[in-house]
A and B are shown apart, each in its own frame.
Chain A
Amino acid sequence: MCLSIPAEIISITGDMAKVSVGGTMYNASIKLVEDINVGDFMLIHSGYGIAKIDEAEANSTLNLMQEIKKKMYQKDYSKELDN
């Protein structure tokens, strides 16, 4: 299980960005976000990007999840999450 599928910015043309959502390409408006660049991750809502995802915060939540899974199952699930 991973976090909400963020949309990765693949290219930007004016107010629109081509994004990848878990492998599916989609065109989303970036009219509502600022300081967004190729390679960033963005939260998409009904065709518009509404927030840039803070990668550091996202990683810390992912790490916490890994720690919980480890304690729950007494196994190292890091490989499973990496896949």
Chain B
Amino acid sequence: MSSNIITLDHGSGGKLTMDLIKMFTSNFRKNNSIEMTDSAVFNSELGITAFTTDSYVVNPIYFPGGDIGKLAVCGTVNDLAVSGAIPKYLSCAFILEEGLSIDELESIVKSMSKTADSAGVSIITGDTKVVEKGACDRMFINTAGVGFLQKKHKLIGSGANVKPGDKILINGNIGDHGLAVLSIRNSFTNDIKSDCAPLNNLIKNCLAVNDSIHFMRDATRGGLAAVLTELSEKVNFGISINEKNIPLAESTRGLCEFLGFDPLHLANEGKVIIVAGDGWKEILKTMESHPLGKESRVIGTIVDRYPGRVVLETEIGGSRIIDIPAGMQLPRIC
């Protein structure tokens, strides 16, 4: 790796994050039969099981559209759901900063409870630690989750059945979460709200429609670009994306233009990318009929050209590649 210290870029979901993950998996991975995707999916005494964990350190802990608690539940529920699992049980570990108001903690806990109820999951165990003032930003939360899959959905997380001709679907506008958090950090006033939401019901409906879903991933840190570039490398096919079809809210587009940000690289917390074969039209209809999928679109296709590359057809009919940045996006001068 090029850097010898951890920087904020290592946490941004870009290339440096991928480098770290390679270091972890090369040390931890002992069982090659367990696919380590958003969730680890494996056979167990309980059937085909999905198991995942995530930590949440967002600052500030409240932002338009959500809070750190809601995020902690949705993130883990979504990691299980996109692996094809029905999420069932979560654990929750708090690291609390000395001096945090208990009322504030309780409001976050209530938010987690409400979100878990709406997702139909139970938080059944947890842990609490307190650290000295300054050692963390008010609170950090880790959630781990367990869910169970039907056998026919086992390969969805790995994308083993993805083939040329498959369509790429997304359930709505990209970039809102990333900009909502940025806006509140920098006191930008606008109407951008995080899309933070549990996707498991929408996904469950889609899985019940037909068996054409070949791959799913939620687009979190690193954005839509990270999911697409990882997928194209994993399956060794090309991906062709049509820029005109990528759903983007006007206020998100405006702020991106102003700051010089690429919306494809912005974080989301309520977006699923579904790659589906011949039955994709029914999947799209099912997505559109769910409250979290009203702006669903077909954004692209898996192709047998340029394997491992994602190519965007721009709004004016030009073409360019989509890649992921090394680290965080920063506003540009010009």
Chain A interface residues toward B at CB < 8 A: 1, 4-5, 21-26, 44-46, 72
CB pair B333–A24 under 8 Å, yes or no, is no
A45 to B251, CA, bound (A): 19
> Which of A4, A22, A44 has the largest count of B CB atoms less than 10 A from its CB?
A22
CB pair A4–B257 under 8 Å, yes or no, is yes
Query: In the complex, which residues of chain B have a beta carbon less than 8 angstroms from the beta carbon of A21?
Result: 254-255, 257-258
A23 to B334, CA, bound (A): 20
A8 to B190, CA, bound (A): 14
Q: Which of A4, A22, A46, A72 contacts B317 (CB 8 A)?
A: A72
CB pair A22–B255 under 8 Å, yes or no, is yes
B245 CB to nearest chain A CB (Å): 13
Query: In the complex, which residues of chain B have a beta carbon less than 8 angstroms from the beta carbon of A24?
Result: 183, 188-190, 192, 251, 254-255, 258
B191 at the interface (CB under 8 A from A): yes
Query: In the complex, which residues of chain A have a beta carbon less than 8 angstroms from the beta carbon of B251?
Result: 22-24
B28 CB to nearest chain A CB (Å): 42
CB pair B333–A46 under 8 Å, yes or no, is yes
A45 to B254, CA, bound (A): 14
CB pair B254–A5 under 8 Å, yes or no, is yes
CB pair A22–B253 under 8 Å, yes or no, is yes
B132 at the interface (CB under 8 A from A): no
Number of interface residues of B (CB under 8 A): 18
CB pair B189–A22 under 8 Å, yes or no, is no
B103 at the interface (CB under 8 A from A): no
Residue-wise interface mask of B (187-201) relative to A, using a CB-CB cutoff of 8 A (1 in contact, 0 not): 011111000000000
CB pair A23–B315 under 8 Å, yes or no, is no
CB pair A5–B190 under 8 Å, yes or no, is no
Query: In the complex, which residues of chain A have a beta carbon less than 8 angstroms from the beta carbon of B334?
Result: 45
B106 at the interface (CB under 8 A from A): no
Q: Which of A1, A25, A44, A72 contacts B190 (CB 8 A)?
A: A25
Extra contacts besides A24-B188, A24-B189, A44-B258 (13): CB < 8 Å: A1-B315, A5-B257, A21-B254, A22-B257, A23-B250, A23-B251, A24-B255, A24-B258, A25-B188, A25-B190, A26-B188, A26-B258, A46-B333
Residue-wise interface mask of B (269-297) relative to A, using a CB-CB cutoff of 8 A (1 in contact, 0 not): 00000000000000000000000000000
Query: In the complex, which residues of chain A have a beta carbon less than 8 angstroms from the beta carbon of B315?
Result: 1
A46 to B190, CA, bound (A): 19
CB pair A25–B189 under 8 Å, yes or no, is yes
Q: Which residue of A lies closest to B251 (CB)?
A: A23
Query: In the complex, which residues of chain A have a beta carbon less than 8 angstroms from the beta carbon of B189?
Result: 24-25
B5 CB to nearest chain A CB (Å): 30
B54 CB to nearest chain A CB (Å): 29
Q: Which residue of A lies closest to B191 (CB)?
A: A23
B4 CB to nearest chain A CB (Å): 33
Q: Which residue of B lies closest to A46 (CB)?
A: B333
Query: In the complex, which residues of chain B have a beta carbon less than 8 angstroms from the beta carbon of A1?
Result: 315-316
What are 30 of the A-B contact pairs (CB < 8 Å)? A1-B316, A4-B257, A5-B254, A5-B257, A5-B258, A21-B254, A21-B255, A21-B258, A22-B251, A22-B257, A22-B258, A23-B190, A23-B192, A23-B251, A23-B254, A23-B255, A24-B183, A24-B188, A24-B189, A24-B190, A24-B192, A24-B251, A24-B255, A24-B258, A25-B188, A25-B189, A25-B190, A26-B188, A26-B258, A46-B333
